[in-house]
Chain A
């Protein structure tokens, strides 16, 4: 079983749609959680950290459910520029060992 699992997609949605991705992790001792975005043939870039109480950044909302060990990302009012692969990332206590999910590919169509 992979430590961090994501549906690879692709999720094909029209502009303006709301789309949600889930991610599950296996290590109950994990402390820090992130969503990264990766464009084709580019480096991953931090989209947002995920806090226990949930957090929002503009059109993006992240939620953490420690009891069920899953993380979610909600994107409202999708834009063409949101097309990318979204990586769920979980870290150990020290924050040194990041474990990446395989990514979920999103394609937003006109």
Chain B
């Protein structure tokens, strides 16, 4: 069972380069999320998509854009990478009624030099 799949798993960029992190889920979930996790900061929500066709800002959206391509896929784009965006990025999805825990992908470790 794939669950939530993120690509790539590791990436090194130079300051100013752009890249897109990909995320796909096969659980037919409506909601998808992008987080970053930094030492001592916990996970912080960057953007989320409550349903196909909608996206909303989270706690730390600056410097990022997202696209909910279809129900399965939710991508995160860094247009001009900065060293402050060095982090571990997690994609998650959730679905169903009532309490909705989230299922996470393996993460993308991104370093910006």
Contact = CB atoms under 8 A, between A and B. Distances in A.
A43 B42 contact: no
Interface in B45-75: 45, 48, 50, 56, 58
Interface residues of B, number: 24
Given A32-B99, A44-B90, A100 B104 contact: no
Contacts of B105: 43
Contacts, number: 49
A102 B42 contact: yes
B104 A102 contact: no
B contact patch SS: strand
Contacts of A43: 90, 104-107
Interface of A: 4, 8, 32, 34, 42-46, 49, 87, 91, 94-103
16 contacts: A4-B42, A8-B40, A32-B100, A43-B104, A44-B43, A45-B104, A46-B101, A46-B103, A95-B94, A96-B31, A96-B48, A98-B45, A98-B102, A100-B35, A100-B43, A103-B42
